[in-house]
C-alpha cells in the first residue's frame, strides 16, 4: 500500500498525462481555431454531462454508508441543481448556451447530442452506480485539474471568441474556486477510504476511466 504522498502523486500523474486539456479539440479551442458552430456543438454536448453530474453524485450518496462522508458530499447536488433563491451550475451552463446563441429548449431536449457523447456520460453514471463508493469518489478527482483549464478557457474566450458576451461565463468563473474546494474534499476522502493496496489501484484506474470519459466526449465532436 502506498503512503499518502505517493498515492497522491500517482493520482496527479494520471491527470497530467490523460486529462482532456491535452485533447486536440481543447487545444484548438484555446488557440482560437474553432468556429461558432463548433463552440455551440461543444456547449450542447457538454450540457449532457453537466446535467448528469448531480445524478452521478446522488448515485454515490445512495451507496455510501458513512454519514460523515455523505454530509461532505451532499452539497454537490445543490451546487449543480441549485436551490430556492440560488441557481446552480446547470442553469449557469444554460446561460452559457444562450450567450453562444443556443436555444435553451434544444439543450434540455438533447437535440444536438452526439451518440458518442451520450454513451460516454451514461457510462460514467453507470460507473458511479456500480463501483465501490470510495472508487466512484476517486473518479471525481479530475476536479484537481479543472481550475487550470477553466482559467485557460476564460482567457481564450476573452481573446478569440469575442462574439460570446461576458455574462455567459459565470460557470467557468465559479468553477475555478469551486473545483479547488471539491477536489480537496474528494482527495481527502480518497486518501482516507481507499486504504488498501487494491482500493488504491482501483482509485487510480477510476481516475483513468474518468479521463477517458471526458476525452471520449470530445472525440464525439470531431467530424
Q: pLDDT (tens digit, 9 = 90+) per residue, 35-94?
A: 999 999 999 999 999 999 999 999 999 999 999 999 999 999 999 999 888 899 999 999
DSSP character string of 60-114: HHHH---HHHHHHHTHHHHHHH-BTTB--HHHHHHHHHHHTT--HHHHHHTTT--
Q: What Å distances lie between residue 72 and 16, 76, 126, CA to CA?
A: 26, 9, 22
Distance CA(127)–CA(214), nearest Å, equals 14
Q: Of 9, 19, 56, 4, nearest to 145 (Cα)?
A: 19
Which pTM value belongs to this model?
Answer: 0.96
Residue 25 structural domain: 4-219
Helix (H, G, I), strand (E, B), or coil: what is residue 161? coil
Q: What Å distances lie between residue 171 and 6, 178, 191, CA to CA?
A: 33, 10, 28
- Taking a C-beta distance cutoff of 8 angstroms, is the pair 139, 183 a contact? no
**Computed over its alpha carbons, how large is the radius of gyration of the chain?**
17
pLDDT of residue 223: 78
**What is the tens place of the pLDDT at every residue in 194-219?**
999 999 999 999 999 999 999 999 99
pLDDT of residue 84: 82
Give me the residues paired with residue 83 across strands.
Answer: 86
> What's the structural domain count of the chain?
1
Please state, rounded to an integer, the average pLDDT across all residues of the chain. 97
The CATH number covering residue 211 comes to 1.20.910.10
- Taking a C-beta distance cutoff of 8 angstroms, is the pair 97, 104 a contact? yes
Helix (H, G, I), strand (E, B), or coil: what is residue 211? helix
Amino acid at each position: 500500500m502506498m503512503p499518502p504522498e505517493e498515492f497522491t502523486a500517482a493520482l496527479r500523474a494520471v491527470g497530467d498525462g490523460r486529462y482532456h486539456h491535452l485533447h486536440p479539440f481543447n487545444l484548438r479551442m484555446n488557440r482560437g481555431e474553432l468556429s461558432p458552430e463548433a463552440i455551440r456543438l461543444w456547449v450542447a454536448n457538454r450540457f449532457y454531462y453537466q446535467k448528469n453530474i448531480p445524478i452521478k453524485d446522488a448515485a454515490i450518496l445512495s451507496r455510501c454508508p458513512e454519514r460523515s462522508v455523505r454530509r461532505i458530499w451532499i452539497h454537490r447536488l445543490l451546487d449543480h441543481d441549485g436551490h430556492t433563491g440560488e441557481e446552480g451550475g446547470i442553469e449557469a451552463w444554460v446561460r452559457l448556451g444562450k450567450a453562444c446563441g443556443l436555444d435553451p429548449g434544444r439543450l434540455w431536449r438533447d437535440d444536438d447530442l452526439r451518440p458518442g457523447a451520450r454513451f460516454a456520460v451514461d457510462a460514467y453514471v453507470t460507473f458511479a452506480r456500480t463501483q465501490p463508493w470510495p472508487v466512484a469518489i476517486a473518479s471525481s478527482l479530475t476536479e484537481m485539474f479543472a481550475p487550470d483549464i477553466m482559467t485557460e478557457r476564460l482567457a481564450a474566450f476573452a481573446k478569440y471568441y469575442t462574439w460570446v458576451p461576458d455574462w455567459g461565463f459565470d460557470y467557468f468563473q465559479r468553477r475555478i474556486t469551486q473545483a479547488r474546494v471539491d477536489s480537496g474534499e474528494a482527495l481527502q476522502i480518497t486518501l482516507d477510504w481507499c486504504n488498501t493496496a487494491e482500493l488504491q489501484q482501483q482509485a487510480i484506474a477510476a481516475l483513468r476511466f474518468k479521463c477517458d470519459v471526458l476525452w471520449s466526449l470530445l472525440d464525439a465532436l470531431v467530424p
